[in-house]
Amino acid sequence: MRQQHMDQAEQAAQSAATVMGPRTEAPACPPEELSLFGAMNLVLAVINAREGNRGGTHEHIDRARGIAARLGGDRNDFDTEFGPTNVEIHAVSTAVELGDAGLALEVAQQVDPSGLSPERQSRFLLDVARAHAQRRRVGEATAALLEAEALAPEQIHDHHLAREVIRDLIQLSDPRIPESLRKLAERSVVV
């Protein structure tokens, strides 16, 4: 997905989910397998959201929620950081991708990402900023970006979505661009 080969990512995730699905129905399924199966559903949710497929997105998020509930807590099997928290972070991300800022912000209020990696926390805050930007809330979006930058500066300075949000916020606030936003744009080489 990071290399923008969505067809290949979808095929790989769908193939893995198809093979793993029956195995995960067993009550004694190892938690590592459940985590991986859940992570595949999150990948499929993101792909569906990028394609604008609401039904598919919600289906995979709901399936991942069920898997996370079976696990009972956050885990990091195979570096997936899969669990209830990461599922909700993906629910925020996919809602933003689908243009549903209200749902994204509503779900985000219930998420405590502090137990996850700084990079995952930063990406979550980037999605929160994107949701605020969709609502034209420059101050809230800027605050989320600054918090994300404090956790993982490279995530904000180098990520194309962060730069896009910063550009949008500058346009929304022009000609009175807040100083904190202007400095963030300079650090991210947006201006």
Q: Among 97, 114, 131, give the residue marking a domain's end.
A: 114
Whole-prediction pTM: 0.88
Domain count, the chain: 2
| pLDDT over threshold 70, residue 4 | no
Render pLDDT for 116-171 as a digit per residue (tens, 0 to 9): 889 999 999 999 999 999 999 999 999 999 999 999 999 899 999 999 999 999 99
Please provide the average confidence, as pLDDT, over all residues in the chain: 92
Cα separation, 138 vs 133, whole angstroms? 6
Q: At CB < 8 A and 24+ separation, what contacts does 10-19 make?
A: 10/43, 10/44, 10/47, 13/40, 13/43, 13/44, 13/47, 14/40, 14/44, 16/40, 17/41, 17/44
Same domain as 84, residue 6 = yes
What is the structure's pLDDT at 5?
59
Same domain as 129, residue 91 = no
Domain that holds residue 149: 117-191
Percent of the chain with pLDDT over 70: 96
Q: Among 114, 145, 179, give the residue marking a domain's end.
A: 114
Same domain as 104, residue 21 = yes
Cα separation, 149 vs 144, whole angstroms? 9
115, 85 Cβ separation under 8 angstroms: yes
Average pLDDT over residues 104-120: 95
